[in-house]
Chains A and B, each alone.
Chain A
Amino acid sequence: MQITFKVYRKDPEGNGKPGRSEYTVDLSDDATVMDGLLKIRDELDGTLAFRASCLRGYCGECTMRISGKSTFACTAKVSAFTKKGPEIALDPIRNIPVIKDLVFDWDAFLWNKIKAVKPWLEPREGPANEEHRLPDAVMKDLRQVMSCYYCGLCDEGCTVLPVDFDFLGPAALTKAYRVAFDPRDRDGKERLRIAEQPKGVWDCVHCFEASEHCPRGIAPTERIVALRDKAFQMGISHEKVARHHQSFAASVKESGWVDEGRLAVESEGLTNIKGLMKLLPTAAKALVRGKAPLPYVHSKRPGADRIKKIFEKGERERK
């Protein structure tokens, strides 16, 4: 069948403006998009740059956008994209700096962020001839996380990265999970401290797009939530968002509803004079508009005692 590929082009040595090239190739009915790309580069245009390695869905190297859907060129059947006509658009995945054509900057997008979470075990001391004895259930969870093939689709789906490229992103945080939840690591807290820093777990807005986009069912969003929970449990919660969470929960537990004044102050931190000063204009406006009548009193809601019991039950169960 004759297929026309409309391919995103960018020449790093040219004027920097992206364009598009069209190539028509003859392919067999069960051909993949990668078959088409290799044929184009071989027979029509040797300058077309794209990456490829394993050729059958093991490695994640050929991630790209195929007629708007981000997936792997090596496992994507051409026939799945030509139902409306023999044309396929090929683009780099979104939210990522492009170097040349379909070759984008994996370093900036993924590898550097993975390095930033120090993604390795600091092994415990022990006999060199004996393995750790561990239940397979623990290992199974790690094997699932490590089925990740670094394809970048979770990061591409992430709704935070388009507004803040410095966010570590779901792929790197999932890698942090892999170490933080491995009982063989000497210092289980190190990865939590890193993940909890600015641009880490607290910048995730839990929109669950990462989990939707992961082709392996690793559920990166849930891994980020698990990192947060574990950080709390281990008393690592220095970030503003963490304090916000804690204050929110504490005031609901104590009074049955949110104490907004306390929330604002505790989120900034009681010793954070600069942060507290920033609250003053807002507080003044609230006073002027009658939103915070003086004297400021936050009283218990009816039924607050029952809400407190729910909290306490939850805390007992967690223990």
Chain B
Amino acid sequence: MQEFDVLVIGGGASGLRAAIAAKRAGAAVALVTKVHPLRTNTGVAQGGLNAPFGKEDSSERFAEDTLLAGDGLSEPELVRILTQGAAEEAVWLERMGVPFNRDGEGRLDRRRFGANSQPRTCYADDRTGHIVLQVLHEQFLRAEIPSFEEWYVTSLAVEDGTCLGVIGLGMRSGKLEGFAARAVILATGGFTRLYLPSTASLGTTGDGLSLALSAGGRLRDMEMVQFHPTVVPKNPGLLITEAVLGEGAELVDANGGTIAGSKAVPREKLCGSIMDTIENGGGSVFLDLRPIGKEKLSSRFPQTCELLRTVAGLDAAKDPIAIQPAAHRPMGGIEINGQGETALAGLFAVGECASSGVHGAGRLAGNTLTEAVVFGRRVGEAAARYAASAPKRSFPAPKLSDEERRLGALTSKNSASDSLGKIHGELGRLMNEKVGLARNQTGLKEAQDRLQHLKERHQRLRVGDTSRIYNYQLTAYLELGSMLSLAEVVVLAAQARTESRGAHRRTDFPERNDENWRRHISVSLVDGGPKLQHKPVGIPG
């Protein structure tokens, strides 16, 4: 069995940054990831990462904007960790080789992005995620960290409330193996594939959240799912970075009239304006990129132009683009403290799978990548410290044979007319319709009932492919299981929150209610069923 001090699960920006930091802190680190790091969902991030530079800006102003976007549910002390660490991490990325766009003096240029009150977003054209990911991967290789690529983690090895490692399935070898570790960091990404359409990659299925939940961890703010305002509604959605609005693009209705309140506002408000226009007889809403000008469009947004052309058959310099909001990123996730610690000893979480307390009810555009690197480093270092002092415990070997039996029982030749894709399709549409931008008790209750039905259908299904080598049907089965268990949590939390705040808009409770609801909803499993707890805002850093 392989043994490490720190085991990082997930090869996106957060996971790579955590692994590099833990290694620098002296730990024996390894990475386990279900897709190669350069294929992870970080690569789809476009707009940039926030960091306060210059005389006009400060970490305090950055914190104010972040708190405003969080709509009263962000944790001020944790936000400060983000905003005070951002500039240093942006410079670190630059010094490691990110070719950020420069201003006339050769310094980091910043663009206006979303509801940032300052030009604060460092960027690399419209491929910031893709390029930051490459540089993190370069430094990850430089650190000579063992990397288990195309390994799917099927469960956490937990004993007496302590995480002692994970069990993973090697896609290539077809073997199930245990990985012992004193500290495990989940950096597995979000769960936006609960929704269809969505802006996320195929593997964004909430695996880590589901692993943590079933092992005794807690999930927080799960009702808060951000929709991205400007998405070409395909399946999957083709996202156009909101940064285009800061560079001159306009949102217009079918008659060419500008949509009010579409500049420099939080995504939640922008989505609301777009949906109001669509629902109040405006028909479609269009993103008009022409005011940016042809030259700037192709130099600053080369990928956007390319993908619009190849995927949607549209010319950004000629045609206004029909858009609508689509599910983008969750604000909630595995409950962590300022060090990334979860409810389980030895289990840490970071990035989009975690609820760091920063994003509250709405995420400020450009904060995702910033969070990935600031918290990635912080949690990597914390896990290394923990591993250095944690008592050595042996990996619970029987868990491996239990897991072998569990997976074996899922496999059998079957000729059911039902399928994973059909269940996922129904789940995605259900979440989009009833648990999407606008919610109410009737719809949420209906969603809850139909989810039970979908879960039963999933449990009846079997995996027909009996091979273990590159058995994507098996991993898809496990991923759908994760999604269904998380959907239930999202629906329950959304029912419980009887107010409107940030991304959570209840048509039957349209007002924000600070008296009762400046509180997080935290969910854990008790006797196999989800149990909700409320925790007031005010977590210490």
Instruction: Decide if A12 is an interface residue (CB 8 Å cutoff).
Output: yes
Least CB distance from A194 to B in Å reads 14
Query: Which residue of A is nearest B45, CB measured?
Result: A58
Is the beta-carbon distance between A136 and B102 smaller than 8 angstroms?
yes
Distance in angstroms between the alpha carbons of A126 and B234 in the assembled complex: 46
Report A86-107 residues with CB < 8 Å from chain B CB: 99-101, 103, 106
0/1 string, A118-147, CB within 8 A of B gives 1: 111111101011111111101110110011
Instruction: Say which residue of A47, A119, A121, A139 sits within 8 Å of B100 (CB atoms).
Output: A139
Is the beta-carbon distance between A53 and B201 smaller than 8 angstroms?
yes
Instruction: Decide if B57 is an interface residue (CB 8 Å cutoff).
Output: no
Instruction: Decide if B233 is an interface residue (CB 8 Å cutoff).
Output: no
Given A42-B422, A146-B99, A56 and B106 touching (CB < 8 A)? no
Query: Which residue of B is nearest A102, CB measured?
Result: B470
Report B152-191 residues with CB < 8 Å from chain A CB: 172
Query: Which residue of A is nearest B101, CB measured?
Result: A136
Is the beta-carbon distance between A99 and B470 smaller than 8 angstroms?
yes
Is the beta-carbon distance between B97 and A184 smaller than 8 angstroms?
yes
Given A43-B419, A46-B463, A131-B91, A55 and B102 touching (CB < 8 A)? no
Given A41-B473, A53-B203, A120-B142, A143 and B99 touching (CB < 8 A)? yes
Instruction: Decide if A315 is an interface residue (CB 8 Å cutoff).
Output: no
Of B36, B97, B149, most buried by chain A (CB within 10 Å of CB) is: B97
Is the beta-carbon distance between B44 and A42 smaller than 8 angstroms?
no
Distance in angstroms between the alpha carbons of A46 and B413 in the assembled complex: 10
Distance in angstroms between the alpha carbons of A143 and B124 in the assembled complex: 7
Instruction: Decide if A13 is an interface residue (CB 8 Å cutoff).
Output: yes
Query: Which residue of B is nearest A103, CB measured?
Result: B470
Distance in angstroms between the alpha carbons of A286 and B95 in the assembled complex: 58
Is the beta-carbon distance between A49 and B311 smaller than 8 angstroms?
no
Given A43-B421, A55-B236, A119 and B138 touching (CB < 8 A)? yes
Instruction: Decide if A280 is an interface residue (CB 8 Å cutoff).
Output: no
**A118 to chain B: which residues have CB within 8 Å?**
141-142
Query: Which residue of A is nearest B38, CB measured?
Result: A150
Report B87-104 residues with CB < 8 Å from chain A CB: 87-88, 90-92, 94-97, 99-103
**B100 to chain A: which residues have CB within 8 Å?**
131, 139
**B236 to chain A: which residues have CB within 8 Å?**
55-56
Is the beta-carbon distance between B201 and A54 smaller than 8 angstroms?
yes
Query: Which residue of A is nearest B466, CB measured?
Result: A47
**A179 to chain B: which residues have CB within 8 Å?**
97, 138
Is the beta-carbon distance between B419 and A60 smaller than 8 angstroms?
no
Least CB distance from B338 to A in Å reads 22
Is the beta-carbon distance between B91 and A54 smaller than 8 angstroms?
no
Given A47-B473, A61-B39, A147-B303, A75 and B91 touching (CB < 8 A)? no
Give the segment of B125-133, B328-336, B500-508, B513-521 that binds chain A: B125-133
Instruction: Say which residue of A49, A120, A128 sits within 8 Å of B472 (CB atoms).
Output: A49
Query: Which residue of A is nearest B473, CB measured?
Result: A46
Interface size on B (CB < 8 Å)? 65
Instruction: Decide if A59 is an interface residue (CB 8 Å cutoff).
Output: yes
Is the beta-carbon distance between A121 and B138 smaller than 8 angstroms?
yes
Report A55-89 residues with CB < 8 Å from chain B CB: 55-61, 75
**A165 to chain B: which residues have CB within 8 Å?**
none
Is the beta-carbon distance between B464 and A75 smaller than 8 angstroms?
no
Report A32-55 residues with CB < 8 Å from chain B CB: 38-39, 41-43, 46-47, 49-55
Given A134-B106, A147-B302, A13 and B38 touching (CB < 8 A)? no
Distance in angstroms between the alpha carbons of A49 and B472 in the assembled complex: 7
Instruction: Decide if A182 is an interface residue (CB 8 Å cutoff).
Output: yes
Least CB distance from B126 to A in Å reads 10
Query: Which residue of B is nearest A35, CB measured?
Result: B235
Is the beta-carbon distance between A54 and B41 smaller than 8 angstroms?
yes
Least CB distance from B46 to A in Å reads 9
Instruction: Decide if B307 is an interface residue (CB 8 Å cutoff).
Output: yes
Query: Which residue of A is nearest B34, CB measured?
Result: A53
**B39 to chain A: which residues have CB within 8 Å?**
53-54, 59-61
Given A57-B307, A150-B38, A46 and B139 touching (CB < 8 A)? no
Least CB distance from A192 to B in Å reads 17
**B432 to chain A: which residues have CB within 8 Å?**
none
Of A11, A53, A60, most buried by chain B (CB within 10 Å of CB) is: A53
**B40 to chain A: which residues have CB within 8 Å?**
53
Interface size on A (CB < 8 Å)? 62
Is the beta-carbon distance between A131 and B95 smaller than 8 angstroms?
yes
Is the beta-carbon distance between A135 and B87 smaller than 8 angstroms?
no
Is the beta-carbon distance between B43 and A134 smaller than 8 angstroms?
no
**B488 to chain A: which residues have CB within 8 Å?**
none
Instruction: Decide if B310 is an interface residue (CB 8 Å cutoff).
Output: yes
Instruction: Decide if B134 is an interface residue (CB 8 Å cutoff).
Output: yes
Instruction: Decide if B105 is an interface residue (CB 8 Å cutoff).
Output: yes
Instruction: Decide if B108 is an interface residue (CB 8 Å cutoff).
Output: yes
Distance in angstroms between the alpha carbons of A134 and B127 in the assembled complex: 20
0/1 string, B481-499, CB within 8 A of A gives 1: 0000000000000000000
**B36 to chain A: which residues have CB within 8 Å?**
61, 106, 111
Distance in angstroms between the alpha carbons of A46 and B103 in the assembled complex: 52
Least CB distance from A195 to B in Å reads 16
Instruction: Say which residue of B96, B107, B201 sits within 8 Å of A123 (CB atoms).
Output: B96
Least CB distance from B200 to A in Å reads 9
Given A121-B97, A146-B131, A52 and B202 touching (CB < 8 A)? yes
Least CB distance from A53 to B in Å reads 4
Is the beta-carbon distance between B470 and A49 smaller than 8 angstroms?
yes
Is the beta-carbon distance between B201 and A55 smaller than 8 angstroms?
yes
Least CB distance from A48 to B in Å reads 8
**A57 to chain B: which residues have CB within 8 Å?**
306-307, 310-311
Instruction: Decide if A309 is an interface residue (CB 8 Å cutoff).
Output: no
Distance in angstroms between the alpha carbons of A111 and B149 in the assembled complex: 11
**A142 to chain B: which residues have CB within 8 Å?**
99
Query: Which residue of A is nearest B172, CB measured?
Result: A99
Distance in angstroms between the alpha carbons of A132 and B90 in the assembled complex: 12
Least CB distance from A88 to B in Å reads 18
Least CB distance from B138 to A in Å reads 4
Is the beta-carbon distance between A119 and B141 smaller than 8 angstroms?
yes
**B44 to chain A: which residues have CB within 8 Å?**
54, 58-59
**A126 to chain B: which residues have CB within 8 Å?**
95
Query: Which residue of B is nearest A72, CB measured?
Result: B310
Given A54-B201, A150-B38, A41 and B472 touching (CB < 8 A)? yes
Instruction: Decide if A115 is an interface residue (CB 8 Å cutoff).
Output: yes
Distance in angstroms between the alpha carbons of A52 and B130 in the assembled complex: 17
Instruction: Say which residue of B94, B109, B138, B311 sits within 8 Å of A132 (CB atoms).
Output: B94
**A49 to chain B: which residues have CB within 8 Å?**
469-472
Is the beta-carbon distance between B469 and A13 smaller than 8 angstroms?
yes
Distance in angstroms between the alpha carbons of A76 and B94 in the assembled complex: 35
Distance in angstroms between the alpha carbons of A115 and B236 in the assembled complex: 32
Is the beta-carbon distance between B96 and A55 smaller than 8 angstroms?
no
**A52 to chain B: which residues have CB within 8 Å?**
202
Report B1-42 residues with CB < 8 Å from chain A CB: 35-36, 38-41
Instruction: Say which residue of B306, B421, B463 sits within 8 Å of A38 (CB atoms).
Output: B421
Least CB distance from B390 to A in Å reads 30
Is the beta-carbon distance between B469 and A12 smaller than 8 angstroms?
yes
Distance in angstroms between the alpha carbons of A124 and B97 in the assembled complex: 11
User: Can you name 13 extra interface pairs (CB under 8 A) apart from A42-B419, A133-B106?
Assistant: A42-B422, A53-B201, A55-B236, A118-B141, A121-B135, A128-B92, A129-B88, A139-B99, A142-B99, A143-B99, A143-B101, A146-B124, A149-B38
User: Could you pull out 8 A-B pairs where Cβ atoms are within 8 angstroms?
Assistant: A42-B422, A47-B465, A53-B202, A54-B39, A54-B43, A55-B236, A57-B307, A131-B94
The 7 closest A-B pairs by CB, nearest first: A42-B421, A46-B473, A133-B106, A142-B99, A120-B138, A120-B142, A136-B102
